[in-house]
Structure 1
Amino acid sequence: MPYSFIKNKWGFFALLLSLSALATAQPTPILLRNASFEDDPAISQPPREWYYCGPPEETPPDVQPNEVFGKNQDAHHGYSYLAMVVRDNNTWEAVGQRLLQPLIAGRCYEFSVFLARPVIYQSPSRLTGFLDNYIRPICLRIWGGGPRCDRREILAASPPVKSTDWTKYTFQIQPFEDVHNLVLEAYYLPEKVPYNGGLFLDAASPVFELDCESRQKLLAVRKVVFSQPSNINELEALIQAQLQALTVDSTSGQLSIQYFTDPHGIDRQANIPLWVIAQALQSFTAWKLEIVVPDHPSHSARELANEITRELLAAGLPGKQLKVRTAVKRDKKRTWPLQGRDGLVWARVW
């Protein structure tokens, strides 16, 4: 198994990072952008990276949890999730996303997502105008298509989601045509008159290619292993090494997200350098990390600061240990002990 050693300025190795593939010829998973539906809780606003695919005369889905419609479950992963409803006026909600690479016709794939029924979701009925509770069980339908929001082929559908506990649902699909866009749609139970119901979604997986006969996953998996720092000097060395590995995509201006297995054998979908920083810093509860993002022509400093914050929080770093902000004029005159490659970010532990 190959290892990459990074030596820090104090002269010792603080990081052990293994990125191993099972076989270079195997396909990598197709990652969804913001697969955990992370965003600030909001009404009638899909989470970032997902676009609305419902009727234009109706309101888009919501980002939960908030208490506008009643107090509901906490997120299964991260700090937020997607909420969609069906209505008694024969309208329903859906979101979509263009895939980073298409599903190929005739090939077999697997996709999973955690689903739950709302505990309470009070909103006016479209037919009567009176307050109703959108908690009746509904289904998730998964569509594939070409253009944005195209529902050319139904790929899979869940059974009625009755439990208010987060439950993992796994779907195996084999498209008849190439799929460039994926649509997640809330829908009524079969053969039912339109009614008010709701569905929560969180922690969607990548799309894995399967062997169509054995139904086994065909994938290359990277395993991330690092040595936990034992003192503040080693912690700073680890953070410095990871900030040097932090990059922004030149086209999208966004952080890269990878699929990997952590040291405990758990599959993860995150930015690896920030995930490693979050794991290491959690053992130093008395210390805080400040990251400053300067202006850069290739990306928005504010958007990058928000992305870094979301990734570190989703990786389990307590908010009280973190401060991320955009740079101000006086920051350029300061000496920052920790820096990203080409001055992408400046940082300190204090």
Structure 2
Amino acid sequence: MRVAENLNRALHGLLESDPRVHVLGEDIADPYGGAFKITKGLSTRFPDRVLPTPLSEGAIVGAAAGLALGGEAAIAEIMFGDFAALAFDQLVNFAAKSVSMYGRPVPLPMIVRCPMGGRRGYGPTHSQSLQKHFVGVPGLDLYETSPFHDAGALLPDVLARAVPAVLFEDKVLYAQRMFEDGAVDDLFAFDLVGDGPGVARVYVDDPEVFDCVLIAPGGMAERALGAMRRLLLEQEIVCALLVPARLHPFDVEAPLPTLERAGVVCVAEEGTAGGTWGAEVAHRIHERLWAGLRRPVRLIHSADSVVPTAGHLEERVLVQESTIFEAVVEAVRD
């Protein structure tokens, strides 16, 4: 099963099992079924609860938050996550604050789906990874899809928390297969640690034996796995990979037993440097494990640039498998 199919099935299951749930977004109705076909078939089965909207991200998120605040539940799709910036006010000043500013906790079950990332040649305004701009907003949770986390379990869990959430979905990830039954391929195995959607832990033979721990969101998983394979075969460096479903608040407790055995930790993300999710993760790790680390957590990110349209230039800007490989070699050998 591909990640896109997994998301689509999860949405079908959610609408079928929970009559409160509404889906909103641009061009989400059949026969188009969304820009990336994640909402395919939903409007045919649930015509009253799948609501195509005008091109207004602020209106989409505002309407979704209003539905959730009024006792329903909502999943809003931003066609390209870059334009979540147009809904920033509704997310930060309406949805996120509404859960607490009335003097008592108020449930607001809402997920804003944001296809993000480059490697598709879509150019500067359709290829960004803007996760860092939403980190640290009180009352707003951040998640990212991954090939390790079943959306059929993730989406109901997020809505059950009744806290507004942004779900980032790497566009290249849509075509990749889901990993199942604890196996990635002939080399890597994985398990899930922690409560709820948990943190995927990928390892070679023994989850407690490694030279370095990599932490990466789901969209970086393919590149991280490629780097891990090269590191093992070419440098005899063994890595473990941690992929959280929930980016923020980052649950450092779930992977803590693994991190406690790590002298070297690297965090990879596709966004640019400065006030990043990776920096927040590093801060949380430094608070708990500073005395046991051989060096500060190494941050791996894309170049300080807009994302070019031309493929050869885009490759120079964005984090590649080779970027992770070189950073880990330097961190371990230093």
TM-score, normalization by structure 1: 0.28
Higher helix share: 2
- Tell which has more relative contact order, 1 or 2 (C-alpha 8 A, sep 6+): 1
Report which of the two has the higher share of strand. Answer: 1
Give the greater-gyration-radius structure (CA): 1
